[in-house]
Amino acid sequence: MAVTKDPVHLLSASGRELPRRWLAQVGFIWSGQAVSMLTSFAAGFAAVWYITETTGSALMLSVAAICAYLPIGLLSPFGGVMADKFNRKTTMIVADLAVGLVSLGLGLIVMLGQVSIGLLLFLITARSIAQAFHAPAMMAAMPMLVPDKHLLRINTMDQMVISVSSIGGPAFGIFLYTTLGLHWTMFLDFAGALVAVAGLALAKIPTTFDHDMDNQHVLANLRDGFRAVAATRGLLILISGVILVEIIFAPLGALVPLMTFDHFNGDGYMASIVEAAYGIGLLLGSVVLVAWGGGKRLAGLICVSTMIAGVTTAVCGLLTAVMFAWFVVLCGVMALAFAGLNSPLITLIQRFVPEAKTGRAMGLLITAIGLAAPLGIVTGGAVAEWIGVAPFFLVDGVACLAVGVAVFVFRSVRALDQVPASTPQQDNGCEAESTAA
């Protein structure tokens, strides 16, 4: 009688046994989120455009920007606590459905002719609050659903959807706004939220509990999340380096048009070419990561990407006024390098932080990066005003290159690439349940 060996079960990045149809399950989630992301960007831009047409006020647009970004920066750590304390699937469904219902209600109000700036600001704020709770739960759930060798690909695809939606969403939103009206844009956002909820409902996401959270204050929960990151010294150093890079490069988004106008004597058309090159570079970098998988040395990839971005930025500061074509190419290469920062960092956090604490770790990361941007814009803008825009590109690039080299020097950072990816970390304070929601 022949003896049949049991098949080797495929394990997730966190060490859980995966179902045979794990890819279809992830596809349901990812497709729903992609649709919802596109409709959300469209609705958000339509709301901003309505404020622009109605008020023509830079102050009101600034208030709208604050409503869009500040809640994410302030509330993401608490969203991470929710992701670790409650069912992650339920957390994401509630966040998606809440935004959808707000859009539905606003669409009905607009259709009745009762729209106001205050209501649109409420919509923008509600979406930002929901994102603060949705993003940490999504990032914490993925290691339980995907094999480790595909984890970076999934994370990169998430970033790619955000990039594509941020480019195509506004154009889609203005098309709907001008052809169908603001209320139909909001109704479409509601439909997108339902698609996202349906994708999550079809998936089975395991639950995990950290019993240390039961009798702790929320601030103690956050402290445990930070300790889970800091337990791996190299990971904490790497995160600090990426946050510093975010601060260094934040001003460039505002200074690239000025560089085009002031240094290259360009116009709006030339500025749009630079923006397009940056978007294409970022998208191409994401496609390369998805196809390649990132290899086994993600910490090294982050450091090398930082160095490349630093070198290209510094060279931009050395270009003469007749070298605009090179500026376009360098901005594209710079963006391509940036694609090698966030997704590999998220993947390393998912690998090294116990799964019951991943939500808090991600929430803290989102907040740190979110608050780094305004800090960098304020300080970088002042420096550029003092030394000039072209010299600022040179100084900024050299600073970024220095950060990449300095972080790579740490042995604990390089050691992150030596830990077998197939051996997920365990946490004695956590209890995983085999049931799925």
Q: What number is the average pLDDT over the span 419-427? A: 49
Question: pLDDT by residue (tens digit) across 309-354?
Answer: 999 999 999 999 899 999 999 999 998 998 888 889 999 998 898 8
- The domain containing residue 363 runs over which residues? 223-417
Q: Tell the burial category of 9 from Cβ atoms under 10 Å away from its Cβ (0-12, 13-18, 19+).
A: exposed
The reported pLDDT for the residue numbered 193 is 93
Distance CA 39, CA 7 (A): 42
Q: Is 279 helix (H, G, I), strand (E, B) or coil?
A: helix
Given a contact cutoff of 8 angstroms between Cβ atoms, the answer to whether 430 and 208 are in contact is: yes
Q: Cα separation of 47 and 146, whole Å?
A: 36
In 3-state terms, what secondary structure has residue 7?
Answer: coil
Which residue shows structure tokens 């048009």?
257
Assess whether pLDDT exceeds 50 at residue 436: no
Which of 182, 208, 234 is the endpoint of a domain? Answer: 208
What is the average pLDDT across 7-27?
78
- Does residue 137 or residue 434 have the better pLDDT? 137
Question: Tens of pLDDT along 272-290?
Answer: 788 788 888 888 888 888 8
What is residue 86's DSSP assignment?
S
Rounded to the nearest 5°, which phi and psi values hold at 401?
A: -60, -40
- Same-domain pairing of 391 and 263: yes
Is the pLDDT at 126 greater than 70, yes or no?
yes
User: pLDDT tens digit string along 354-365?
Assistant: 888 888 898 988
pLDDT digits (tens, 9 = 90+) for 209-225: 666 666 667 777 788 88
Per-residue pLDDT tens over the stretch 235-244: 999 999 999 9
Task: Choose the most confident range, by mean pLDDT, from 5-9, 315-319, 383-387.
Answer: 315-319
Average pLDDT over residues 76-104: 89
Distance in angstroms (rounded) separating the CA atoms of residues 105 and 53 = 22
Asked, for residue 433, whether it belongs to a domain, the answer is no
| Residue where a domain stops, chosen among 160, 181, 208 | 208
Q: Are residues 192 and 292 part of one domain?
A: no
pLDDT at 387 over 50: yes
CA–CA–CA angle 21, 86, 227 (5° rounding): 100
- Cα separation of 279 and 281, whole Å? 5
Which of residues 293 and 209 earns the better pLDDT score? 293
Beta bridge partners of 431: 209
Is-contact 23 149, C-beta < 8 A? no
pLDDT for 213:
65
Residues 171 and 290 in one domain: no
Q: Categorize the per-residue pLDDT at 156 as very low, low, confident or very high, splitting at 50, 70 and 90.
A: confident
Domain shared by 196 and 273, yes or no = no
Together in a domain, 278 and 204: no
User: Cα–Cα distance between 236 and 407 in angstroms, integer?
Assistant: 11
The per-residue pLDDT for 238 is 94
In a domain, 6, yes or no: no
Which pLDDT does position 5 carry in this prediction? Answer: 42
Number of domains within the chain: 2
Of 134, 55, 72, 46, give the one whose Cα is nearest residue 374.
72
Structural domain contains residue 427: no
Same domain, 177 and 234: no
Give the least confident one: 126-135, 166-175, 294-303: 166-175
Q: What pLDDT does 58 receive?
A: 66
Cα 108 from Cα 122, distance rounded (Å): 15
Say yes or no to pLDDT of 70 above 90.
Answer: no
| Percent of the chain with pLDDT strictly greater than 70 | 92
What's the mean pLDDT in 400-427? 79
pLDDT at 429 (0 to 100): 46
Q: How many angstroms separate the CA atoms of 110 and 101, rounded?
A: 14
Residue 294 pLDDT grade (very low, low, confident, very high; cuts 50, 70, 90) = confident
For residues 237 and 288, state if they share a domain.
Answer: yes
Query: Residue 422: its pLDDT value, please?
Result: 45
Question: Which residue do the tokens 């169908």 mark?
Answer: 180
pLDDT exceeds cutoff 80 at 423: no
Same domain, 86 and 53: yes
Instruction: Establish if 245 belongs to a structural domain.
Output: yes
- Does residue 108 lie within any of the structural domains? yes
**Can you tell me the mean pLDDT for 84-91?**
87
* 165 in the same domain as 288: no
Domain membership flag for residue 243: yes
φ/ψ of 353, rounded to 5, equals -95, 130
Residue 10 within any structural domain of the chain = no
Token representation of residue 207: 């639950």
Q: Are residues 368 and 235 in the same domain?
A: yes
Mean pLDDT of 222-231: 86
Query: Which CATH number belongs to the domain containing residue 157 in this structure?
Result: 1.20.1250.20
